[in-house]
Amino acid sequence: MAETIRHSWQISPQQSVRLQRELAPHVRCTPLARPVRTIAGVDCAFFDSGRQIVAVAVLMQAKTLEIMAMAYAVDQVRMPYVPGLLSFREAPTQFEAVSQLPQSPDLVLVDGAGQAHPRRLGIASHLGLWLGIPTVGVAKSRLCGRHRAVGRRRGCCVKLIDGGEVLGGVLRTRDDVKPLYVSAGHLITLAEALKWTLRTARQYRLPEPIRAADRIAGQLKTRIAEHSGQFSPM
């Protein structure tokens, strides 16, 4: 079975970069080892003036996208947002949320990069190493790499290249809508990552698992803030 990684999340930016270089070689973009029957989507929202973070994990039936369960975790924000070091800010809480699900997902869709990262360890890959299960990185914008223009129709896709290697695919999930930057996270191939991203993106740009997690996180931050005596005029 896949080995999992454990380390402290509270380290300096310099140590974070060193750790990423150390962990990247452990990521495996190999074919899915088992059929995907359940898929989870994870996303975060910030509140309390950016001092707290809530991560949500939504479990769905892979075929019907019916929601089976939802779990969340709240934490104090300990790291600022630094391009390239996003996982040190959001992954700890996301890991906790996914761990709270009643059952382990066969695949996890993460909002952010996977292999399409300067040091090949975007948040999807990093979270995958911690969970020890397949993950896909689905970013709404580009972190690194270059690519040609993407066809305007749903399903059109072009390679995202950096340093001579294919890091991911720029995929159009809806006609004439800004494409998504998809890359393998861990324990999955790029082709499979693209297939599952397109397959779960029905009538919206984002895959349903991530979209559901995003929406629920937005509702939760407001509810949690109100419950903890913060200002919420009207």
Number of residues that bind DNA (CB under 7 A): 29
Among 123, 170, 188, 193, binds DNA (CB under 7 A): 123
209 within 8 A of 94, measured Cβ to Cβ:
no
Among 38, 52, 87, 94, binds DNA (CB under 7 A): 87
Among 33, 78, 81, 223, binds DNA (CB under 7 A): 81
122 lines the binding site for DNA (CB under 7 A) = yes
Cβ neighbours of 204 (radius 10 Å): 12
Strands (E), the chain: 38-47, 52-61, 67-76, 107-111, 135-139, 157-162, 165-171, 180-186
Could you tell me which residues come within 8 angstroms of residue 14 by beta carbon, excluding any fewer than 6 positions away?
Answer: none
By 3-state DSSP, what share of the chain in percent is helix, strand and coil, each rounded to 5? 30, 25, 45
CA distance 76 to 49: 11
Region near DNA per CB under 7 A, out of 23-31, 149-157, 195-203, 214-222: 214-222
Smallest CA-to-CA distance from 54 within 193, 228, 185 is with 228
Among 11, 17, 46, 158, binds DNA (CB under 7 A): 46
233 lines the binding site for DNA (CB under 7 A) = no
- Of 64 and 141, nearer to DNA (C-beta) is 141
85 lines the binding site for DNA (CB under 7 A) = yes
CA distance 152 to 192: 22
CA distance 25 to 41: 25
Smallest CA-to-CA distance from 210 within 188, 187, 181, 230 is with 181
- Of 28 and 142, nearer to DNA (C-beta) is 142
Instruction: Name which of residues 2 to 41 contact DNA (CB under 7 A).
Output: none
- Of 190 and 217, nearer to DNA (C-beta) is 217
- Of 12 and 64, nearer to DNA (C-beta) is 12
111 within 8 A of 163, measured Cβ to Cβ:
no
Among 19, 62, 84, 133, binds DNA (CB under 7 A): 84
Region near DNA per CB under 7 A, out of 3-11, 32-40, 135-143, 195-203: 135-143
78 lines the binding site for DNA (CB under 7 A) = no
Least CB distance to DNA at residue 1 (A): 26
Binding site for DNA (CB under 7 A): 43-47, 50, 81, 83-87, 111-113, 117, 122-124, 137, 139-144, 217-218, 221
